[in-house]
Each structure stands twice: as C-alpha cells, then as structure tokens.
Structure 1
C-alpha cells in the first residue's frame, strides 16, 4: 500500500514537503489510544532486547539523527517499533539551515542527497521537549545529536558544543557529537585528532554521566578512522557512530547529469552500504569489546542489521530507507530479525 502511495503521490512532492506532511501523522501515532493500537502491531519481540551503553534497548535497530531534528516525533517513532530514537542534529543557536530545495531523492539508487545545514529550533527548545518526554515516556531510549552552529567560527566550536551538551545531555540517554556533516562549513575539519581531542574532552565534562559518542564520516582514510577510534577510547568516550553521509558519488545508477544538477550535499541510503560496513570493521578491530559501536549507512533489511551485528555493531540505525519502505519499516525489520 505504501509503495503505491509513494509512487503515485509522495514521489511527486518535494521530499522535504513530504517529510513535513508525515510529521503530524507520526506524532499522532505516539498519542493514546493510537499508540496502544500501533504497538500491538509493531512492538519488538522480547527476544530482540539488546544491552548497550548501560541501557536496555527493545531492539538493536533504531532511527538515526536527521529524521526528527526538533524532538517532535519520538513517541510516534517508538510506537512504530524503533528500539531507540536519535534526535537532532541540534545546535546551540537556532538556525534555518540552507536554502531550499535541500533534500533530493535518488529513487533508482534508493538514496537521498541532503544539504539541510542543521536546520533546527536550537538546543534550548530541544531540551524543553526532551524534559517533557522524560515525564511522559520515560522508557523510550533517546539519543541527542549535537552539532556546531553555523554562525560560530570553527575556532570557537568547542564552547558552542559545550552549550548544547549542557542543555540536552541531562535529558538524553546518550549524547552524540556530530563533527562529520558535509553541510556546515569547516565542520569535518574538527575530525582531525589534534582538534577533536580537546573538543571531546570539553563536551565530556559538560555531558556529565550521560554516555558520549562521536559520529564520524565515511570518507576518512582508514588510518584516520583508527586514530579517532583510539582517541575515543583514550578519552573515555562510550562509543562511536559510523557513519554519517558521504560526499562521494561513485557507483550510482542515477544519471550523472541529474546528480550533478542536484549539487552539493551528503549522500545516504543504499549506496553507502559497503563503505559503512567496512568502516565498522575497521573500528571494531581497533577498540575493546566493551566499547559501543553504532553502525548506520545503507541499512534496509533485517539481513543488513544481522550483517552489521555480526561485524561487531552493538546497535544499528537507519533513516533513508524509511522514505522508500514506509512507516512499517521498523516492524518489518524487527520481524525479520526475530525469524532469523
């Protein structure tokens, strides 16, 4: 049913407009009595419970950052069967992001290109919503992803991240430092070990007891990935999220002229599968068993989740396939994992 709806209606809409149409529907699914009815169909089986980051997850599979930037759909997404929801990316300073259009479908590749630019209402607004969620839905596992505000110079990035961390960390189950989006000028330069170390140290202090992870790009050479992994272990972080979107356009089915017309942005979805899996294996070989690795990028099926878990991922996330598979994607994956 969803695939028919996507083909005849949603695919004709601007992707960001289609997403905005989905927001009130998903929010409604998180409100009683609708949430009870939906959960009866989608709740992960008890056998899928996973322990990571000192937390109990209903399923190892969750929704990645970017889908719910402003903490508006958490309860609905949890009702749809996702084992955790990572909100954001949020920034200390509210910002509109890049000009539209800034989200594009590559249907032939089951992929997206985005240059959203961290559009969000700011960390203070996110903190208020997270605080309210903790009262209403304390059992949902929520991660908060923080990034640099565009108006802040790179040399002042640490203070900017610390501001966000102090606001949202007390209300999140874990905190993710995003230094890997290609859509904020200068951001990826923060992944250099000599720059990243003091930033993570400062954010760790601001996060307090909330587990801290860092999210990295797939475009880094393997030796730099190992360096970041070793740094994260030395600094006492709880884990790494691998990976963010890629700036590569290799191996796409979509005609090159169409891809070129879209322009800059991060590519996500099925084309990222192999590189994301390779990065996972590089990290897992470089860190202790107890260090948490969350794998994201090109995950569509239950077999994909099983493959990531077999390669050492403690948790797995997805986003782009939601656009193509529809609202019962989480349920489908969980059922596939249960059968496997």
Structure 2
C-alpha cells in the first residue's frame, strides 16, 4: 500500500479539490468574499468537493480543523472572508474489519445482543492509529456465523463506547432491530448505568450534579473541556462512596448526557481529576501530599484513568425483559484501594 502524500492547497470555494478523501492529508482554503456568512462546514465541503458536509462537520467536531491557525470547533460558525481554513483528513479505514481472536469476558449473550466486561487497553472500534486489535475485531471472531449483522453487513452494532483505558460493562447489538432499539435507549437515557472512579481530593458537597457544557478544547484538539461557547449540554451526577481523608475518594458517577470524556472532564473541572488520567490530570494534586510516599507514588504512577463502568441495566430490545449487569473493579484499581486501606501485600 502506498503512503498517502500530504497536500496543501489555497483555493477559493469555487475551485474543486483534485484530491479525494482517500488521499489523506492537510487541505487548506482561503475564504473568498462571496463565502462570507456561509457555515464553515458547508464552505469546506463545497471547496473540497469530495467530502459531504456531514463528514466535514464530523472532522471539525473531532478537532481536525482550524481558522487562521486557531482551532475551529463549531461547524456552524460563519465564514470570514480572507481567513485561511485548514482541515486534516485522516487515512480511510477499511469498511469491513477483520475478525481477530481476542479473549473476551462475556457476561450475557443471545441471538440479539452480547454483554461483556471490557478490559482497560482495548479500543472499541477500528480507527486511524488502531486499525485492528479492537473490540469490533474480537466480536467478529467471537460471534462468527451467529451474527446476522447491521445494515446488510455482518458486523456488530456498537451502541455506546468506553474510552480505550476505561474498563467495564458494555453491550453490543447483533441484529438490526436490537441495534435500533438499544441506540434509542441510550439516546433517551432509558437505562441504568453507573461508573466508579478514584478521584483526587474529596468533592464538596459529597454528592451533587456537575452541569457544564463540553466541547473541544480551544487550544488542544485531543482534549475536551468545559467551554463557554460551542459546547454541548452535559450533566454528571456524582456521589462519594468512600474517602481516604481528603486525599482520594471513590466516586460513583451517573451520566445524564453522553459527551466524549464527560466524567473525566467534569471531575477535573470541579477540581477532582481522576487518578492516573493522562489527559486531564495536568499536575501533581495538592491532595497527594497527605499520603505516605509509597502510596502517593503508586497513585501518581498509575498508567491509566482509574475509571470503571461498574453497572449497566436496560430492557432487552426484543423481549422487553429487564436485564442488569455488574462488574467489580479490575485488579489494578483494586490494588490501589488495597494500598489506600493499608492492606497491600
């Protein structure tokens, strides 16, 4: 396979791009006077010529676009004449992922769906940078011929995702009907879902709601943030289950909305970032000072966000039967709790 060659163009909106999306790279456009007032996503889609507006919108929301070298986060922003717009187009992903035999912990399975306990470190869906070795690859191998498929393709239906380094309960659909019904349940929050996190410090009050809009970080497209403009409404309900002085708390979180990195962003926003979070834990927390050196060092060295999808309950998408599943915190998080309790081996 040949390596895509990055391309940089500075053309008006009326000039079609000679490069289809399969030629991954950076595309730039200088907005002509007649483009002023257009939506940014529409302007870029029309200028490029080979991408739909919805595809460009998704790329903007993924933090892949800039205006005059400043992150462009709102696809509906009106175009400014003379401004230089740029967008990074990722390499295409194969339409049909390969089946790969990857061990899975299955909690429940029937002809319509599969519930599993996802380990930390497992990416859910193939994407640039993780083209294989994902949960989708594993499900294709696991289900085999017992997978009617979604949309005419023999593939599992991913109705919700967990970050690569977040562990816990997930459900995937095996049929079109199950996929549609489960997707509606998640969209309407017609289910019971709780996460457990180990967070720095002790939230005050010890239970409540974080209501703060989330959008792409204005200075770092790989991060999300609480933003004043262009963010989507987001609400997280939390309750402290245990606390080790004012140093660390075990916090249960429930999502009233479903935004990227929502729990991680909201806990960091109120001053209680998750232990080990490589993105939102930006410095050594003051709360760590009250811990003994061995415990403090172990928590600061934890290699992932200490976040676990502990429970998931929903009605079966076909039979309507109530289903409920739980997963204990994995061994690495349990080891941190043992250290905090002073019971580590």
TM-score (norm 1): 0.24
Structure with greater strand share of residues? 2
Structure with greater helix share of residues? 1
TM-score (norm 2): 0.24
Task: Name the larger-Rg structure.
Answer: 2
